[in-house]
């Protein structure tokens, strides 16, 4: 159970949690019905980012469609578009974007703008005989380093793997000490000469093994199913994971020491897990957060874990590139575990 | 130096006074019973003596060590059986025993002679998870685990609660053997009939010790003549008796009523005051008080 479910999640999430915008639903209001407008339509529908869900003539109808969530973008080409274009005037076309889903709206309209401007360059040279080569313009060519094909899974799988490992280990440990308190076994243990650190170590080591095991299985699954790159040293990644899991476990134990019941522990654990995940850079880049939030991510073990697994797997970073992550995580590991030992009380 | 010594120890939980200036002492080789109803403060006293809980006031020492200063030493030298079964339910009988032996830095073999009589009874089930044992067997396992490091003082918090009559008897026989080995045993129980099996007992209620003595002496201290009365309508008879001016107390005890009177009276004398027509099978006999009578008498005075 403890290993199958996370791997299952890894597979599902990596496939589902994609930032790519596909199938933007577009409705065309072509009042012109000219050659130019029809060519533009063809260009748009040729792209697999767009799905033409209707060609209408009434704006009212089109807006109703958008209301019913059947359109993300309405593209309106005015009457006499072609005529004005050939005459050398500057006809405008209107793009109405449904911004309920911000991602779909910005990315989709960006794609669309791109298509339209390329097309306008093309027809400009065609219609007005402006030879393209005569224009001296800056042409931009982009190459995506570390992920040349912009494969989304290459980026997500290492992140999700790190997230799942941390999540599972936090929850398992957070439930652990408090469970002993609920069942009463801790009462017997407390009247033994066992030292606090021995008790905490006894709680830590099994879950460390579980965490490392999940990490191994997850990487294997990532390699086999998603063909994730493994540019850097796996040993380095495992050494880092070892330190990181200890930090996360210490945090879980800390929660467990303070909770009176398992419900309380799980609630507090989830509270922190949500913050950890949303502020980890898994879905939204840390660099685009406000400065105070960026500082907060330094005490988020998950943020470091995700950064390291991406850097090592995709970029092939070595130890020297990861010293700050290692340093922060090591400090967190020490702080969390020392507080866990300190806050575990054998006496009331 | 006594094995356990408690001086004027008090402890409150919020507004509840769990222990109110308790003092007692237990010698090595003594089986000391703490008798009292639920909520009397028995478990609180146990938790203070086993260093799990700090007292508000007063001092206490166990095996010659102060419970506050030398709590580490105490944890090495006492065995504790909490009121609730506190072994690992998913470990087997043998694994639990080995686990506790290891924690105390010893082995099962080293102190096997101490637990031999007890452990032999559960040995056939040593591969069974502790959670799947019956109540009596759980207690035997818990006792084995509490004894595996050869403690000088043994704390048993309600060891026989929820255990059948035969197992209870066996359990008390085991305790007798253990005290002969010089171990001081402090045992608590809500069952008055178990009190007579102890060397000395303390009656405790609402955080206060009512009386401490041997069971015989405790019974002797019962102040009034006592009669057991049975009829076919005990409830009505009880009400009638409580209205008589010779009655000190009248309490139901199973099928009998126990009547305590202010002065000694003959059986006929009592019968003459009752309307015997109402009670065709009336039976009255003078009896010796037991610990329960005394306990109820003492708690009535409180």
pLDDT of residue A272: 93
CB nearest A194 (choices: B80, B86, B103): B103
Pairwise CB contact (< 8 Å): B86 & A348: no
Interface residue of B75, B95, B186 to substitute, partner A, most A CBs within 10 Å: B75
Question: In this structure, are strands B283-286 and B226-230 parallel, antiparallel, or unpaired?
Answer: antiparallel
- Name the residue in chain B with its Cα closest to that of A348: B53
pLDDT of residue B127: 94
Burial of A36 (0-12, 13-18, 19+ CB in 10 A): buried
pLDDT tens, B228-273? 998 888 888 888 888 888 988 899 888 899 999 988 888 888 888 8
Tracing tokens 């027809």 back to the chain, one arrives at: A123
Residue B172 backbone phi and psi in degrees, to 5: -70, -35
pLDDT of residue A132: 53
Q: Is the dihedral of CA A241, A244, A246, A249 positive or negative?
A: negative
Pairwise CB contact (< 8 Å): B104 & A187: no
Pairwise CB contact (< 8 Å): B105 & A193: yes
Tens of pLDDT along chain A (348 residues)? 767 888 888 888 877 766 666 778 888 888 888 888 888 888 888 887 788 888 888 888 888 888 888 888 888 888 888 888 888 788 888 888 888 877 777 778 888 888 888 888 887 777 666 555 555 567 677 777 777 766 777 888 888 888 888 888 898 899 888 999 898 899 889 999 999 899 999 999 999 999 999 999 999 989 998 888 888 899 999 999 999 999 999 999 999 999 989 999 999 999 999 999 888 888 888 888 899 989 999 999 999 999 999 999 988 888 998 999 999 999 999 999 999 999 988 777
Residues of B in contact with A191 (CB under 8 A): 50-52, 75, 78, 80
Beta bridge partners of B209: B204
CB nearest B103 (choices: A183, A184, A192): A192
Provide the token pair at B253. Answer: 């005890």
Pairwise CB contact (< 8 Å): A185 & B87: yes
Residues of A in contact with B157 (CB under 8 A): none
Radius of gyration of chain A (CA): 28
pLDDT of residue B156: 94
Pairwise CB contact (< 8 Å): A347 & B54: yes
Pairwise CB contact (< 8 Å): B85 & A348: no
Interface residue of B80, B103, B146 to substitute, partner A, most A CBs within 10 Å: B103
What B216-221 contacts at long range (C-beta under 8 Å, 24+ apart), as own/partner pairs, is B218/B291, B218/B294, B219/B288, B219/B289, B219/B290, B219/B291, B219/B294, B221/B294
The minimum CA-CA distance between A220 and chain B, rounded to whole Å, is 32
pLDDT of residue B75: 92
**Exposure string for B171-195, b = 16+ CB within 10 A, e = fewer:** bbebbeebbeeebbbbbbbeebebb
pLDDT tens, B112-169? 988 888 899 899 998 999 999 988 889 999 999 999 999 999 999 999 888 888 888 8
- Do residues A166 and A302 touch, judged by C-beta distance below 8 A? yes
- Percentage of chain B modeled with pLDDT above 70: 99
pLDDT of residue B302: 61
Query: Rounded to whole angstroms, how far apart are CA atoms A83 and A96?
Result: 23
Pairwise CB contact (< 8 Å): A192 & B78: no
Query: Rounded to whole angstroms, how far apart are CA atoms B39 and B105?
Result: 35
**Exposure string for A139-151, b = 16+ CB within 10 A, e = fewer:** eeeeeeeeeeeeb
Burial of A265 (0-12, 13-18, 19+ CB in 10 A): buried
Residues of A in contact with B50 (CB under 8 A): 191
Beta bridge partners of A26: A52, A73
pLDDT of residue A150: 67
CB nearest B84 (choices: A184, A191, A193): A184
Mean pLDDT score of chain B = 90
Task: Please report, for residues A71, A189, A202, B40, the alpha-carbon distance to residue B16 in angstroms, rounded to integers and kept in the order given.
Answer: 67, 27, 36, 11
- Domain B4-220: CATH class, spelled out: alpha beta
Interface residue of A189, A192, A344 to substitute, partner B, most B CBs within 10 Å: A192
Q: Where are the domains of chain B?
A: 4-220, 226-301
The closest alpha carbon to A161, from A105, A104, A222, A112, belongs to A222
H or E stretch including B143?
helix B135-147
Task: Please report, for residues A173, A194, A224, A279, B31, the alpha-carbon distance to residue A202 in angstroms, rounded to integers and kept in the order given.
Answer: 11, 11, 34, 31, 36
The whole-number average pLDDT for the span B17-41 is 91
Interacting residues of A174 by C-beta distance below 8 A, sequence separation 6+? A252, A253, A255, A256, A259, A265, A266, A268, A269
Residue B285 backbone phi and psi in degrees, to 5: -145, 145
Q: Is the dihedral of CA B260, B266, B270, B273 positive or negative?
A: negative
Burial of B11 (0-12, 13-18, 19+ CB in 10 A): buried
Tracing tokens 């958008």 back to the chain, one arrives at: A66
Pairwise CB contact (< 8 Å): A190 & B52: yes
- Name the CA dihedral angle for B264, B270, B273, B275, rounded to a multiple of 10 degrees: 170
Interface residues on B facing A, Cβ-Cβ cutoff 8 A: 47, 50-54, 71-72, 75-76, 78, 80, 82, 84-89, 100, 103-105, 145
- Do residues B4 and B24 touch, judged by C-beta distance below 8 A? yes
Residue B127 backbone phi and psi in degrees, to 5: -95, 5
Tracing tokens 């830095």 back to the chain, one arrives at: B105
pLDDT tens, B182-222? 999 999 988 888 888 999 999 998 899 988 999 889 888 88
- Name the residue in chain A with its Cα closest to that of B131: A183
CB nearest B82 (choices: A187, A193, A346): A187
Interacting residues of B202 by C-beta distance below 8 A, sequence separation 6+? B24, B32, B33, B34, B35, B209, B210, B211, B212
Return residues 180-199 of A near B (CB < 8 Å).
183-194
Residues of B in contact with A179 (CB under 8 A): none
Beta bridge partners of B78: B153
Task: Please report, for residues A166, A272, A273, A295, A299, the alpha-carbon distance to residue A280 in angstroms, rounded to integers and kept in the order given.
Answer: 11, 12, 10, 12, 10
CA atoms within 13 A on the CB side of A317: 17
Pairwise CB contact (< 8 Å): A184 & B145: no
Q: What domains sit in chain A, N to C, each tagged with a CATH number?
A: 20-134 (3.40.1710.10), 152-343 (no CATH)
Query: Rounded to whole angstroms, how far apart are CA atoms B227 and B273?
Result: 15
Please tell me if residue A113 touches chain B, with a CB cutoff of 8 Å: no
pLDDT of residue A123: 79
- Domain B226-301: CATH class, spelled out: alpha beta
């Amino acid at each position: 159970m403890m290993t199958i479910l996370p791997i299952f999640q890894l597979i599902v999430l990596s496939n589902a949690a994609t930032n790519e915008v596909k199938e933007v639903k577009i409705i065309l209001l072509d009042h012109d019905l000219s050659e130019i407008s029809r060519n533009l339509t063809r260009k748009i529908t040729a792209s697999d980012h767009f799905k033409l869900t209707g060609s209408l003539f009434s704006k009212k109808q089109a807006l109703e469609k958008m209301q019913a969530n059947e359109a993300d973008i309405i593209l309106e080409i005015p009457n006499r578009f072609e005529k004005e274009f050939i005459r050398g005037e500057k006809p405008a076309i209107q793009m109405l974007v449904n911004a309920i889903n911000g991602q779909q709206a910005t990315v989709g309209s960006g794609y669309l703008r791109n298509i339209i401007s390329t097309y306008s360059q093309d027809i400009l040279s065609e219609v007005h005989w402006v030879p393209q080569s005569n224009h001296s313009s800056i042409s931009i060519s982009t190459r995506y380093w570390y992920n040349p094909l912009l494969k989304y899974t290459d980026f997500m799988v290492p992140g999700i793997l790190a997230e799942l490992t941390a999540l599972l280990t936090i929850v398992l440990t957070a439930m652990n000490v408090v469970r002993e308190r609920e069942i009463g076994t801790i009462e017997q243990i407390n009247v033994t000469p066992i030292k606090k650190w021995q008790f905490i170590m006894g709680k830590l080591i099994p879950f460390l093994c579980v965490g490392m095991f999940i990490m191994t299985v997850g990487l294997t699954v990532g390699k086999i199913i998603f063909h994730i790159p493994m540019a850097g040293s796996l040993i380095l990644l495992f050494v880092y994971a070892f330190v990181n899991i200890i930090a996360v476990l210490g945090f879980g134990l800390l929660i467990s020491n303070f909770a009176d019941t398992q419900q309380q522990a799980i609630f507090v654990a989830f509270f922190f897990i949500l913050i950890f995940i949303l502020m980890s850079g898994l879905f939204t880049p840390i660099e685009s957060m406000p400065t105070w939030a960026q500082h907060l991510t330094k005490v988020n073990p998950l943020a470091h874990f995700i950064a390291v697994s991406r850097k090592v797997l995709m970029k092939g970073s070595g130890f020297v590139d990861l010293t700050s992550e290692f340093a922060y995580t090591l400090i967190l590991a020490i702080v969390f575990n020392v507080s866990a030992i300190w806050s575990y009380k054998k006496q009331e | 130096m006594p094995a356990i010594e408690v001086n004027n120890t008090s402890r409150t939980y919020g507004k509840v006074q769990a222990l109110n200036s308790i003092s007692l002492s237990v010698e090595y080789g003594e089986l000391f019973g703490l008798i009292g109803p639920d909520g009397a403060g028995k478990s609180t006293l146990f938790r203070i003596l086993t260093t799990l809980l700090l007292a508000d006031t007063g001092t206490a020492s166990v095996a010659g060590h102060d419970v506050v200063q030398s709590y580490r030493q105490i944890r090495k030298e006492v065995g504790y059986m909490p009121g609730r079964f506190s072994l690992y339910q998913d470990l087997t009988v043998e694994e639990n025993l080995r686990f506790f032996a290891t924690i105390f830095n010893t082995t099962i073999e080293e102190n096997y002679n101490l637990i031999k009589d007890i452990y032999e009874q559960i040995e056939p089930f040593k591969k069974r998870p502790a959670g799947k044992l019956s109540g009596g067997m759980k207690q035997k396992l818990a006792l084995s685990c509490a004894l595996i490091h050869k403690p000088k003082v043994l704390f048993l918090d309600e060891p026989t609660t929820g255990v059948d009559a035969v197992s209870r008897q066996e359990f008390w026989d085991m305790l007798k053997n253990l005290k002969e080995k010089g171990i001081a045993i402090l045992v608590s129980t809500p069952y008055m009939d178990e009190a007579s099996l102890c060397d000395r007992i303390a009656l405790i209620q609402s955080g206060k010790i009512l009386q401490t003595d041997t069971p015989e002496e405790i019974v002797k201290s019962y102040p009034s003549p006592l009669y057991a009365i049975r009829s076919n309508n005990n409830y009505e008879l009880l009400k009638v008796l409580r209205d008589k001016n010779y009655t000190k107390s009248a309490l139901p005890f199973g099928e009998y009523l126990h009547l305590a009177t202010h002065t000694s009276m003959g059986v006929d004398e009592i019968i003459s005051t009752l309307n015997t027509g109402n009670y065709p099978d009336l039976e009255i006999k003078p009896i010796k008080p037991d610990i329960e009578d005394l306990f109820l008498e003492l708690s009535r005075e409180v």
